[in-house]
Structure 1
Amino acid sequence: MELEINGEVYQFVFGFGFVKEMNKRFAIDGRGMKMNAGIDTVVTNLYMGDIEILVEVLKVANLTEKPRVSEKDIIEHIGQCEVDTVFDKVMDGLKESGFTKRKTLKLVEEIEKGQK
Protein backbone atom coordinates (compact mmCIF):
# COMPACT_ATOMS: atom_id res chain seq x y z
CA MET A 1 0.00 0.00 0.00
CA GLU A 2 1.22 3.51 -0.61
CA LEU A 3 0.22 6.99 0.44
CA GLU A 4 1.41 10.32 -0.83
CA ILE A 5 2.22 12.55 2.12
CA ASN A 6 3.60 16.06 1.60
CA GLY A 7 4.45 15.26 -2.01
CA GLU A 8 6.45 12.13 -1.09
CA VAL A 9 5.22 8.60 -1.79
CA TYR A 10 5.58 6.21 1.16
CA GLN A 11 5.17 2.44 1.17
CA PHE A 12 3.30 0.59 3.91
CA VAL A 13 3.78 -3.18 4.15
CA PHE A 14 1.56 -5.56 6.12
CA GLY A 15 4.05 -8.43 6.14
CA PHE A 16 5.50 -10.76 8.74
CA GLY A 17 7.44 -7.98 10.47
CA PHE A 18 4.21 -6.00 10.82
CA VAL A 19 2.38 -8.98 12.33
CA LYS A 20 5.25 -9.74 14.70
CA GLU A 21 5.45 -6.14 15.93
CA MET A 22 1.68 -5.85 16.42
CA ASN A 23 1.65 -9.13 18.35
CA LYS A 24 4.45 -7.82 20.55
CA ARG A 25 2.54 -4.60 21.25
CA PHE A 26 -0.84 -6.23 21.82
CA ALA A 27 -0.10 -9.58 23.47
CA ILE A 28 -2.39 -10.84 26.20
CA ASP A 29 -0.67 -12.55 29.12
CA GLY A 30 -2.65 -14.60 31.57
CA ARG A 31 -2.23 -17.74 33.63
CA GLY A 32 1.21 -18.39 32.19
CA MET A 33 -0.04 -18.25 28.62
CA LYS A 34 0.68 -15.63 26.02
CA MET A 35 -1.87 -15.01 23.30
CA ASN A 36 -1.04 -12.96 20.22
CA ALA A 37 -3.80 -10.41 19.71
CA GLY A 38 -2.10 -7.94 17.38
CA ILE A 39 -4.25 -8.31 14.28
CA ASP A 40 -7.38 -8.82 16.39
CA THR A 41 -6.75 -5.52 18.18
CA VAL A 42 -5.80 -3.65 15.02
CA VAL A 43 -8.73 -4.80 12.89
CA THR A 44 -11.34 -4.33 15.63
CA ASN A 45 -10.12 -0.83 16.47
CA LEU A 46 -9.73 0.21 12.83
CA TYR A 47 -13.25 -1.02 12.14
CA MET A 48 -14.50 1.13 15.02
CA GLY A 49 -12.66 4.20 13.68
CA ASP A 50 -9.86 4.50 16.24
CA ILE A 51 -7.51 7.22 14.96
CA GLU A 52 -4.72 6.33 17.39
CA ILE A 53 -4.59 2.76 16.09
CA LEU A 54 -4.66 4.07 12.51
CA VAL A 55 -1.54 6.13 13.20
CA GLU A 56 0.19 3.19 14.94
CA VAL A 57 -0.64 0.83 12.08
CA LEU A 58 0.79 3.24 9.52
CA LYS A 59 3.94 3.80 11.59
CA VAL A 60 4.61 0.07 11.99
CA ALA A 61 3.74 -0.76 8.36
CA ASN A 62 6.34 1.79 7.23
CA LEU A 63 9.12 0.75 9.68
CA THR A 64 10.94 -1.48 7.18
CA GLU A 65 10.53 0.86 4.22
CA LYS A 66 12.50 3.76 2.79
CA PRO A 67 11.74 6.57 2.89
CA ARG A 68 10.37 6.48 6.43
CA VAL A 69 7.47 8.75 7.35
CA SER A 70 7.31 10.52 10.69
CA GLU A 71 4.40 10.20 13.09
CA LYS A 72 3.90 13.96 12.81
CA ASP A 73 3.54 13.73 9.02
CA ILE A 74 1.09 10.81 9.33
CA ILE A 75 -1.05 12.78 11.78
CA GLU A 76 -1.01 15.90 9.60
CA HIS A 77 -1.91 13.83 6.52
CA ILE A 78 -4.88 12.24 8.27
CA GLY A 79 -6.02 15.68 9.45
CA GLN A 80 -5.85 17.12 5.94
CA CYS A 81 -7.59 14.40 3.96
CA GLU A 82 -10.78 12.37 4.03
CA VAL A 83 -10.06 10.12 7.03
CA ASP A 84 -12.47 7.39 5.88
CA THR A 85 -10.36 6.99 2.73
CA VAL A 86 -7.26 6.31 4.84
CA PHE A 87 -9.14 3.80 7.02
CA ASP A 88 -10.44 2.05 3.88
CA LYS A 89 -6.97 1.88 2.28
CA VAL A 90 -5.47 0.38 5.42
CA MET A 91 -8.27 -2.18 5.78
CA ASP A 92 -7.90 -3.08 2.09
CA GLY A 93 -4.17 -3.53 2.62
CA LEU A 94 -4.80 -5.84 5.57
CA LYS A 95 -7.35 -7.82 3.53
CA GLU A 96 -4.88 -8.24 0.64
CA SER A 97 -1.66 -9.20 2.43
CA GLY A 98 -0.97 -12.91 2.67
CA PHE A 99 0.16 -12.38 6.26
CA THR A 100 -3.03 -10.68 7.47
CA LYS A 101 -5.75 -11.57 4.97
CA ARG A 102 -7.25 -14.66 6.60
CA LYS A 103 -7.55 -13.22 10.09
CA THR A 104 -8.70 -9.80 8.87
CA LEU A 105 -11.49 -11.23 6.71
CA LYS A 106 -12.65 -13.52 9.53
CA LEU A 107 -12.68 -10.69 12.07
CA VAL A 108 -14.56 -8.32 9.75
CA GLU A 109 -17.12 -11.06 9.08
CA GLU A 110 -17.59 -11.64 12.82
CA ILE A 111 -17.89 -7.92 13.56
CA GLU A 112 -20.46 -7.41 10.82
CA LYS A 113 -22.41 -10.51 11.90
CA GLY A 114 -22.52 -9.14 15.46
CA GLN A 115 -23.96 -5.84 14.27
CA LYS A 116 -26.99 -7.45 12.68
Structure 2
Amino acid sequence: MSKNMEIEVNGEIYQLVAGFGFLHEVNKKVAIDVPSTGTKKEVGLKFMVASIIDGDIDALADCIFYMNVGQSPRLKKTQVESYLEDVEDIDKVFEDVINFLSHANVCRKEVMQLMSVQEAETKK
Protein backbone atom coordinates (compact mmCIF):
# COMPACT_ATOMS: atom_id res chain seq x y z
CA MET A 1 0.00 0.00 0.00
CA SER A 2 1.31 3.42 -0.92
CA LYS A 3 2.21 5.90 1.81
CA ASN A 4 0.37 8.57 -0.19
CA MET A 5 -3.13 8.87 -1.53
CA GLU A 6 -3.92 11.22 -4.39
CA ILE A 7 -7.01 13.12 -5.38
CA GLU A 8 -7.56 15.20 -8.47
CA VAL A 9 -9.27 18.54 -8.02
CA ASN A 10 -9.83 20.79 -11.04
CA GLY A 11 -7.21 18.90 -13.05
CA GLU A 12 -4.51 19.18 -10.37
CA ILE A 13 -3.19 16.20 -8.39
CA TYR A 14 -2.97 16.63 -4.60
CA GLN A 15 -1.01 14.32 -2.32
CA LEU A 16 -2.63 13.09 0.89
CA VAL A 17 -0.47 11.64 3.66
CA ALA A 18 -1.59 10.02 6.91
CA GLY A 19 1.61 10.61 8.87
CA PHE A 20 2.45 12.13 12.23
CA GLY A 21 1.71 15.67 11.03
CA PHE A 22 -1.83 14.55 10.14
CA LEU A 23 -2.19 12.61 13.39
CA HIS A 24 -1.10 15.52 15.60
CA GLU A 25 -3.36 18.02 13.78
CA VAL A 26 -6.41 15.77 13.97
CA ASN A 27 -5.87 14.63 17.55
CA LYS A 28 -5.75 18.26 18.75
CA LYS A 29 -9.36 18.71 17.65
CA VAL A 30 -10.85 16.67 20.53
CA ALA A 31 -9.48 16.20 24.05
CA ILE A 32 -11.05 14.30 26.91
CA ASP A 33 -10.30 14.36 30.63
CA VAL A 34 -8.33 11.41 31.94
CA PRO A 35 -9.99 10.45 35.25
CA SER A 36 -7.98 10.93 38.46
CA THR A 37 -5.00 12.51 36.67
CA GLY A 38 -5.97 16.10 36.01
CA THR A 39 -4.76 15.67 32.42
CA LYS A 40 -6.38 15.47 29.02
CA LYS A 41 -5.87 12.95 26.22
CA GLU A 42 -6.14 14.08 22.62
CA VAL A 43 -8.47 11.72 20.75
CA GLY A 44 -9.51 13.57 17.61
CA LEU A 45 -8.50 10.73 15.28
CA LYS A 46 -10.87 8.33 17.02
CA PHE A 47 -13.79 10.74 16.64
CA MET A 48 -12.93 11.61 13.04
CA VAL A 49 -12.61 8.00 11.90
CA ALA A 50 -15.79 6.96 13.72
CA SER A 51 -17.62 9.84 12.06
CA ILE A 52 -16.30 8.89 8.61
CA ILE A 53 -17.35 5.27 9.17
CA ASP A 54 -20.81 6.61 10.06
CA GLY A 55 -20.94 8.57 6.79
CA ASP A 56 -20.23 12.10 8.10
CA ILE A 57 -19.17 14.10 5.05
CA ASP A 58 -17.87 17.00 7.19
CA ALA A 59 -15.47 14.59 8.89
CA LEU A 60 -14.44 13.24 5.49
CA ALA A 61 -13.72 16.79 4.26
CA ASP A 62 -11.67 17.53 7.39
CA CYS A 63 -9.73 14.30 7.00
CA ILE A 64 -8.83 15.00 3.37
CA PHE A 65 -7.90 18.59 4.24
CA TYR A 66 -5.61 17.54 7.11
CA MET A 67 -3.97 14.74 5.12
CA ASN A 68 -2.84 17.44 2.68
CA VAL A 69 -1.19 19.60 5.39
CA GLY A 70 2.49 20.04 4.60
CA GLN A 71 2.08 18.91 0.99
CA SER A 72 2.53 20.90 -2.17
CA PRO A 73 0.31 21.89 -3.86
CA ARG A 74 -1.90 22.74 -0.89
CA LEU A 75 -5.68 22.24 -0.89
CA LYS A 76 -8.03 24.89 0.46
CA LYS A 77 -10.98 23.67 2.53
CA THR A 78 -13.38 25.09 -0.08
CA GLN A 79 -11.65 23.00 -2.78
CA VAL A 80 -12.13 19.84 -0.71
CA GLU A 81 -15.79 20.65 -0.19
CA SER A 82 -16.32 21.37 -3.91
CA TYR A 83 -14.55 18.11 -4.76
CA LEU A 84 -16.87 16.16 -2.45
CA GLU A 85 -19.96 17.93 -3.80
CA ASP A 86 -19.06 17.06 -7.39
CA VAL A 87 -17.42 13.63 -7.16
CA GLU A 88 -19.35 10.93 -9.02
CA ASP A 89 -19.06 8.18 -6.38
CA ILE A 90 -18.98 9.64 -2.86
CA ASP A 91 -19.28 6.17 -1.32
CA LYS A 92 -16.02 5.19 -3.01
CA VAL A 93 -14.30 8.26 -1.54
CA PHE A 94 -15.46 7.26 1.96
CA GLU A 95 -14.27 3.70 1.32
CA ASP A 96 -10.92 4.80 -0.16
CA VAL A 97 -10.14 7.14 2.74
CA ILE A 98 -10.97 4.53 5.40
CA ASN A 99 -8.98 1.91 3.50
CA PHE A 100 -6.02 4.28 3.22
CA LEU A 101 -6.15 5.16 6.93
CA SER A 102 -6.41 1.46 7.83
CA HIS A 103 -3.02 0.89 6.17
CA ALA A 104 -1.19 3.96 7.52
CA ASN A 105 1.17 3.09 10.36
CA VAL A 106 0.22 6.06 12.54
CA CYS A 107 -3.48 5.21 12.66
CA ARG A 108 -3.86 1.57 11.57
CA LYS A 109 -4.59 0.14 15.04
CA GLU A 110 -7.16 2.83 15.85
CA VAL A 111 -8.95 2.47 12.51
CA MET A 112 -9.00 -1.33 12.63
CA GLN A 113 -10.44 -1.25 16.17
CA LEU A 114 -13.18 1.16 15.14
CA MET A 115 -13.98 -0.89 12.03
CA SER A 116 -14.30 -4.02 14.19
CA VAL A 117 -16.73 -2.27 16.53
CA GLN A 118 -18.77 -1.05 13.56
CA GLU A 119 -18.88 -4.53 12.04
CA ALA A 120 -20.03 -6.01 15.36
CA GLU A 121 -22.77 -3.36 15.62
CA THR A 122 -23.91 -4.09 12.07
CA LYS A 123 -24.29 -7.81 12.86
CA LYS A 124 -26.64 -7.16 15.80
Q: Which has the higher helix share?
A: 1
Deviations 1:43-69 (A, max 9, x none): 110001101111111111101100001
List per-residue Cα deviations over 1:42-100 (Å, max 9, x = no partner).
11100011011111111111011000011111111111112111111111110111111
Task: Select the structure of larger CA radius of gyration.
Answer: 2
Shift of 1:3: 0.4
Give 2:23's match in structure 1, choosing from 16, 19, 23.
19
Instruction: Work out the percentage of aligned pairs sharing the same amino acid.
Output: 33
- Matched residue, 1:80: 86
Q: Which structure exhibits the higher relative contact order, with contacts defined as CA atoms closer than 8 Å and separated by 6 or more residues?
A: 1
Matched residue, 2:106: 99
Unaligned runs of 5+ in 2: none
Answer with 22-31 or 79-88: which moved more. Answer: 22-31
Which AA in structure 2 matches 1:64? Answer: G
The correspondence of residues 19-58 of structure 1 with structure 2, limited to 5 A, is 19-29=23-33, 32-58=38-64
- CA offset at residue 30 of structure 1? 5.5
After TM superposition, the score normalised by the length of structure 2 is 0.87
The alignment of Structure 1 onto Structure 2 pairs a total of residues equal to: 116
